[in-house]
Structure formats: structure tokens, C-alpha cells
Structure 1
Amino acid sequence: MAIAGPMVETVLGGVRMTDRIVVPFEGPGAGIGELTWGQQKVWTLMQQAGTSLSMGGAVPVADGRTVQDLAVELAFFMCRYASMRVRIRSGEDGAVVQEVSGSGAHALGIIDVADDEDPALTAQRLADQWDATPFDHAQEWPIRMAAVRARGVVTHVVVTISHVATDGAGIAVMLTDLAERDPVTGEPKNPAPTMGPLELAAQQRTPAGQRQNEASLRHWERILRSASPLRFGPHVDRGEPRYRRAYFESRALHMASKAVAARLGAPESSVMLAGYAVVVARLTGINPSLIQVVVSNRFRPGIADVSHPLSVNGLFMADAANVSFDEAVERTQRASALCSKYAYYDPRQLEELRARISEERGDVIELSCLFNDRRLGADTDVSMPAPSRQALDAARDESTFRWGEPFAEYLDKLMVQVSATSDAVELEVQVDTHHVSANEARALVLELESLVVRAVG
């Protein structure tokens, strides 16, 4: 692929580059239309948070790739995925619309570091600055990419993508497609996705799409009309920082959740969600647990390989506090199946439904407890032997809890996100400490670990 084209500004995402390579692109799916349901949800969150909820970071390059190689990778993303060619603006009637371009030019930024500078620090500074700088979605492509060079050799690549263009599973699709290109021709292994954001938005407007939307709204209405309006206790001013995040890394929780899943023949995600439902009920004294669970929707026909965001919140409710943990997992599996089935809807209509129910009940139904299992492909190995009590106790001694950088603003009261390293589970806890104290947040993850470890048997 030739790297040539019109001049492109050397400032990317508000950061001036040392140099740049112009990357022309051309791809299918061009047109103008409304946002998909997933994009609508993300767009609303972005406007409320005042950020692009960006994903990405700085990645070391140790395989000899050059700036030309990285430019080809950027071109691959721009040509193959229509969501990377989206600009978002107000339409003639004032509604938000997206415009997918069929061709154009982007730029790979290049930053050269001085001999006495650390390229890793430069790459991380750029990643942090891009993460903190909202995209101009009406003018800017939703992906930023730059190479960091030291003495003429690429040491890092920095990539930041706006959440309105993709989600975690979408990035995984993009990276898999990139890795599976033919090493000689550079051609991808699989055909390009045919379901771009405009095509998906059109599908969601069809009678079949509207039937799914109506069924999902009935599920939400049924739960919202029966749930307690409160999730947490009253507001208590505990000073600053109010909005905090913490990280809990546990090899014991990793081992135990796998063992319990294998023993029960259940998904690991169900074990983790069951544990969360139990400890939240114990923390708040409110049962059944009502939790918004992030659902990817990629299990639905025809959209597994798209890049644009498909994750929305499903509504999960289960009485898991006063039963055995095995029973809690079973109840969680049943409730999770309904949660996932009905997590595909028009967000605007859902908000109208929530407002109507709150008005009729005379109470705002609080939905500020969230759970997001970001692990991909965590299959249950039913043949896996259970770890010994000695091994679990030793692993628990290694567990770590630390506070990260606080949020300037935060939209919810409690959220736990699950990630995994090669041999541990990492829980990221996001909390409004005026409703869930810092001590309660720490106690919650420790109790979750203890609960699942005890359930190994």
C-alpha cells in the first residue's frame, strides 16, 4: 500500500508531532445516518462525563517494526472498519448523526526523543495526554496513532480510540484481524465486516429490530416496577477526593473462581457476578441485588466481527444473599441469561420508560450499581482439579489493594470491572465515597475474594 496523499496537520489530538506520515484510505459503508443503539449509549455517557471515554495506551515495539509498518497498520484499520471513518455532528433537524467517509487521509504521528530522554516516559505522557483530550468528533477521525522513535528506531506505538467508535471487544476484533494478515501479501484472513454502523442502525429500525427493542423494554419495566428504589444508604459527605478508583489483584480469586466454575459447570463470569451480588447485598442490606451488567451483544447473529460499540447495560436482579453460594451461582445464571437476552434496546426509549415509571411510583429507581466483566474467552475447564487450601491461603497472602488516581467527576456510585492477567484477577473498583466509603470499597473486594475461596470446598 502506497503511503502518500494530501497534507495533513502535524498536530494530532492537540499534540504537535516531530513529523508525520500521511495515510490515505478508502473503504465501504459511506453515508449519513443516525447512531446505533450502542453508539447512542456511549455518546450520552461521553456528554455527561465530558470525555471521550477513550481506550488505548502506549505499547512497546520490540519486533523491528518501522514507521512505514505502523502507517500500513493505521491504513488497515481505516480501510477495513467503517467506524474508524466516522465523524459525528448535528443534522439538519438538530439530531446527532454520523457520517461515514468512503475515502480520505489520516496521519501517523512521529515523535523523536532526545538521546538523554526515556522513550517509555515520552510514550506514556502522550498516551495520558491523548486520554485526557476529548476528540473533536465533528472534525477528527476517532483514532489517534503515533510512533515514538529513539535514535531513529521505533520503541513504542501510542494508540487512542474514542469509545463511540469501538469497545473492548471491538478492539480485540481489530487486533486479531491485524495479527492474522498474510505475512507476505498483508491480506486479512477473513473478509471485511459487512455490518458497518450505518447498516446496523438501519437493521435496528426494521420490524425485527423493533420487536427486540420492545421485548427488552418489557423486561426492564417488569424489574423496575418491582425493585426497591434504593441501592445505597444516604449521602454522607466524606470530603475529598470524592470519586475514587482502586485496584485489587488476587491470584487466589483467579484460582478459586475457576475451581468453583469447574465444579458447578458454570461460566467464571457467573461465579464472579454471583459473588458481587452477595457482597453488595451484605454491604447495603438491600436485597434482591439490582445491578446493571455490561453486555457485549456480540453473541447476536451477524455482528460478532464488527468494530463499533455493541456493549450496553443489561438489568440483572437476583436474590442471592440468604442462600448457599452454589444456589447463588445457579440463580445468577438464570438471571444473567435474561439480562443478556434483553440488553439490546433503544437507549432513548429506555430513558423515557425509566422516567415514566419513576413518576408513577413517586420514586426515582436508582441504578447506580454496576458490574463489567471485561475478560474475553474465559471458558470453564471442567477437568481442572481444585487447588488445595494451602495453595489458596498462600495465594491470598499475595493479594494487593491499592488506590489509583481519583476521578474529577463520576456518574455512578459503585462499579466493579473485572480484568485478568496470566494468573490473577484484577478488580477495578470505581466508587462515589459519599455513598460507599473507601473502607467499605476495600472490604467489599476482600469479602468477595473470601466468599469465592470458601466456595471451593
Structure 2
Amino acid sequence: MPVGGGPEGIALTLRYRSEAPEAEGPLTLGQDNMIRCLRHDEPSHMNKQATWTVPPGAELPACLHALRTLAERHPALRTVFPGPADRQPERQRVRAEGEFTVRVLPLAAGEDPAARAEAYCWEGRRRAFDLAEEFPLRFALLTRDGAPVLLAVVICHAQLDGVATGLLFQEWLTLAVGGTLPAPAAPTPVEVAEQEQSSSGQRRTKAALRHWEHILADRPTSVFADDRIGPNDTRLPTLGVRSTAGAAALERAAARTGVSTSAVLLACYAVLTAHRAGHPTVVMAALSANRHRPGLAEHVGTLAQDALLVLDTDCPDLDTLIGRAQAQALSGYWHATFDAERIWQLIEDVAVRRGARFARHVVVNDLSGTVPPDVAAARPLPPAEPDLAWYPVEPTPTRLMLNIWRTAGCLEFTLHTHPDVLDREETELFALALLRLLDLAGTRTVTLGPAGEIAALSGLPVGRREKGRWQRVGSNWVDLDAVADLLRTALPAARDIEVTFEGGELTAVLATGTDPLTPEQAHAAVMAALPGHDTAMAPQRYVLPTGTGTGRP
């Protein structure tokens, strides 16, 4: 029934009732992970959005019935997480009945539906969902002369990830014109949680912990460490790229090398990132990484957890790296189902031991499987080859992120870039270099290494370490001057600070005035101040005034 009106249309409240009884169980690992992220990050970053086309001939009553049917078909849409908003919930509860709101927005004459949908979604993304009560989708059905033309959707990531949203969209296209669907066959979120709690599920999570520890223990904690790197700003500009030639080149490269298109893109992205970083080893997080588990391809829920990948680009040619990328991706994806609390504790424990905390500098997110092929094919072709377009800044807590939206027919991707890593001109160079690299990889091998082709092909700047006192400490590049600045921040009473690197050991010599500290106390203070100091790390040895301590923390 209508509950509001005016220039912003009316809000219709739809009630649903499922034949399935109420259910309750522990959180899935994906739900637990995403709720932790939702409680930590800005709503506009964690909430997602989608624009669903309205199939021809679909009328308003059928569209509303389709949305009600989706709620009744899928337990994830009826799931809430009881408990106070300031605490991590422990249980999920599936309702048998409830209600949600659909806002019906009439378009003015000549008004662009896509722009109106974008404005609605952006406003909706900025408001956090009430996880204990709220339906996980916010709908706005845009109409012209009473006929539906577009559906704007804001999505809570605690219940749905990108693939699940794509599955719902495909069902919407059928239901909105009165079609019928078979009953869902994939396990429900409660059933997924039960499997994860089983002995086999526990073995998988333990294996994931070992995989993460192996990488975190000795690989670079910061991919980008050079003279340009400063404090991290999480609001990054976004470059959108579309290229039909890029899609054709990607297909040729995958066919020539005998691997997936995803592995080809991953390798090209990694080698350009390594070139810019001035470091051959790239540690990256891959999102949307864990739908490989048997029976979960059609799961409507949230499985989103990071896969941690490491790619060593110090190989003779790109073909070799593409093979490495395929193997590393499979390993990372297999180990992308984990207990988030234990992973974060592992990250913290390793950080204290190493004196350097893992920085999520590089991210890849392949969402090309979330849009149905027929919908992707209906998108207009790019007006230029390639087509590059800048979008407003978005909160993105990383330094470099590649989102892959489409690979077949037209390659579509976006790059989120921190200005300290790539300014706008350099971001465009990176995108064009990626397309050129794909074109070459489709016809022949590309040489890598110091005498290889990447520098000339890309035109990208290389990370320079000239302004400070740079040293390789383990696998990390560290500026000793930045370490001294870190010590001054963490220990404001300290004076006569001297930082050296000799015999493979990073040492800090300092006096602490009238407030003596032990090495353990000094290290704890430095670790607390470390976030944001990506070119520094905590000393491995502290030399303090006589009587307070000399040694490792």
C-alpha cells in the first residue's frame, strides 16, 4: 500500500510470506567477514548498487510481484542478524514473512532514467543498513507515463555479493514478464554455515590460515614504497575503460597461451604494477574469489572474501608469468574461505613480529561473471577505440584497484588509482599500456626483465628511491628517515634518535628523557603508530638508555 508521495513519488510496502519455516544458525564465513567490513568502512564504500533493466512489456503490478517472489524464493533476502549495532553478531535468522519498500519514481519529460537511478543509488549507498531489522535491498522503480522503465537497487553486502546480485537480476528478467522458475537448488546461507562448521570445512579454514601466513611472513608488506608515497587518502578517482579491440586481443592471448582470460589480465596487471613499484614481487588481494567451491556457483548469499595472491614477475617473458598467474590464482582462490577474526589476528601477530603491517595496496576484482551475456551484449559499443572516461572519486581503501566488468565482445574495466601511485595522466598511460600488452600477448611472447619491453611499451614512471635513506630490509624497501619520523610520532618524548641498518638488522638508538621505556614498550608504541607510514617499519632492535634495555622487543 502507498505510504508516501510528493515529488519523490510514492513508497509501496510489499509483504512477503515464504512457505519455508523460520531458520537460525551461525554466520557463514562470508557473512562474518562482510559484516566486519561494514562496521569498519564507510557505508558508501561497502553498500553496492545495480541498475536492472525492465524487460519489454513488463507492467507495474508484474514488477512488484516479481520482487515479492524474489524475497520468497531466497532465504538470503529474508535474513537478518540479531544483536546491537555496535557488536559483531554471532547468528543469522531467516524470517518466514516480512515486508520491504519499493519507491516508485515518475520521470519528468526528457529526464534521463540512468542519471535518476544513479542519484537514487548514491543517496541510498550513503545510509548504513540496519542489519538486525532491514530488508537487504532498497528498490526504486522508475516509470514514464506510468510504465516501468528501470529499476535502481541498493544492496547490503552482508547478505549479497556481486555474483548473487547478478543471479537475482537474471531471475528478475524472467519474473517481471510473468515467467516461472524452478526451485533454487543451491544451498542456503544456513546450510553453507553448517558445511563450514563441519570437519572438512574446518580443515579448509585451517589451510587458508597457513596460506596467508606463508605470504604475510616474508613477502613485501607494501607494494609501493618510493619517494612519492605519503599518507593514504581513501577517496580515489576512477578511470573507466572500454575497448572492443581489447576484448578481441584478450581472447587471442588466452587461446595462444592456453589459459583463462582472467589469468591473462591478472598477469598483465601484475607486470605493469611491478614496473611502477620498482619491485618484482606483487602481493595483491583478489575479490569475488571463492565461488569455486562445489555447488556454490548459484548460491544467493555473500561469499565475498579476499584471496591473497603473490606474483613474482622476475621471469623471462610474459607467457611464463601468465602461467604463474593461473597457478597462483587457483591457489589463492582455494584458500579464500577463512575465519576473518583469525585472519586479522594473524595479520596483527605477523605485523608485530616483522615490524611491518600488511598494506592492501593492490586489488583486483573480476566481476565479469556477474552480468548476463545477453545483457552485456545489449550495451552500446564505445564511441571511441579505446573509450576512456573519468568518474567522481569514491572511497576505496587501497592504492591501486582494477575492477573487470566485461571481457566478451567489449573489454570493460575501471582503475581506482591513488595520486601518489599514478596521477591522472599516468593512470591513462597504465590503461593504454594494459591494452597494448594484451594486443602483443595475442600474437607473440613479450620479453620481461631489465632488458625487456615493458618500460618502452608503457611509458610509466618507475618507483624511485633517491630522496631518503633507502634500504632493503628483508623483502621490504624501507626509508630510514621515514623510520625516524615514525619514532618521533610514536615516542614524542624521545630525542637523539638514530636509525641504522647494519648486519641485516634495523636498529633504533634513542633517549627517552624522564620517561624510560623497555624495548617491548617502545615497540608497542611504534606499532600502534605504524598505519599510514608505508615507507617505514618498526625497528628490529632498540637501544635505549642504560637501565631501560637493549635488545629485540
Q: TM-score, normalised by structure 1?
A: 0.84
The 1:92–1:176 alpha-carbon spacing in structure 2 relative to 1, beyond 3 Å, is closer
Distance 2:230 2:213 in 1: 33
Whether the aligned pair in 1 keeps the contact of 2:186 and 2:298 (CA below 8 Å) is no
Q: Distance in 2 between matches of 1:93 and 1:121?
A: 35
Q: What is the aligned partner in structure 1 of residue 488 from structure 2?
A: none
Q: Deviations over 1:305-329 (max 9, x none)?
A: 2111112111111222442111111
The amino acid that maps onto 1:366 is A
Which residue in the other structure is 2:138 paired with?
144
**Helix, strand or coil for the counterpart of 2:72?**
helix
**Partner of residue 309, structure 2:** 316
Mapping of 1:209-228 within 5 angstroms? 209-228=201-220
What pairs up with 1:45-444 in 2 under 5 angstroms?
Answer: 45-51=37-43, 53-61=46-54, 63-90=56-83, 94-96=87-89, 97-113=91-107, 121-179=115-173, 186-189=179-182, 191-193=183-185, 195-234=187-226, 236=229, 243-376=236-369, 398-407=385-394, 409-420=395-406, 423-444=409-430
Higher relative contact order (CA 8 A, sep 6+): 1
Q: Report if aligned partners of 2:211, 2:335 keep a CA contact under 8 Å in 1.
A: yes
Q: How many residue pairs end up in the alignment? A: 429
Please name the residue that 2:501 is paired with: none
Partner amino acid, structure 1, of 2:328: A
CA offset at residue 10 of structure 1? 4.4
Give the superposed CA RMSD: 3.1
Q: 1:92 Cα deviation (Å)?
A: 11
More displaced stretch, 368-377 vs 193-202: 193-202
CA distance 1:375–1:116, shift in 2 (3 Å): closer
Partner SS for 1:135: coil
Contact 1:8 1:22 survives alignment (8 Å) = no
1:114-170, CA deviations, whole angstroms, 9 ceiling, x for partnerless residues? Answer: 557665554443233223333232332011223223322223222222121211211
Q: What's the offset of the Cα at 1:99?
A: 2.5
Give 3-state SS (helix, strand or coil) of 1:334's partner.
Answer: helix
User: Pick from 446, 450, 454: which aligns with 2:432?
Assistant: 446
Q: Confirm or deny: 8 A CA contact 1:86 1:99 kept in the other structure.
A: yes
> Counterparts of 2:139 and 2:176 in 1: how far apart (Å)?
23
For the residue of structure 2 that corresponds to 1:416, the secondary structure is strand
Could you tell me how far 1:258 is from its partner in structure 2?
A: 0.6
Indicate the larger mover: 225-234 or 43-52. Answer: 43-52
Indicate conservation of the 8 Å contact 2:246/2:435, yes or no.
Answer: yes
Q: Which runs of 5+ in 1 are unaligned?
A: 1-6, 379-394
Specify the alignment match of 2:28 in structure 1: 36
1:402 CA displacement: 2.5
Percent identity (aligned): 23
Following superposition, the deviation at residue 69 of structure 1 comes to 0.6
- Displacement after TM superposition at 1:64 (Å): 2.2
Moved more, 48-57 or 70-79: 48-57
Measured in 1, the distance between the counterparts of 2:47 and 2:97 equals 24
Shift of the 377–73 alpha-carbon distance from structure 1 to 2, 3 Å rule, reads: closer
TM-score (norm 2): 0.70
Q: CA deviation at 1:178?
A: 4.2
1:371-413: per-residue Cα shift (whole Å, max 9, x none)? 11111299xxxxxxxxxxxxxxxx9981132221012x33111
Q: Secondary structure, in 3 states, of the residue corresponding to 1:398? A: coil
User: In the TM superposition, what is the alpha-carbon distance from 1:23 to its structure 2 partner?
Assistant: 3.1
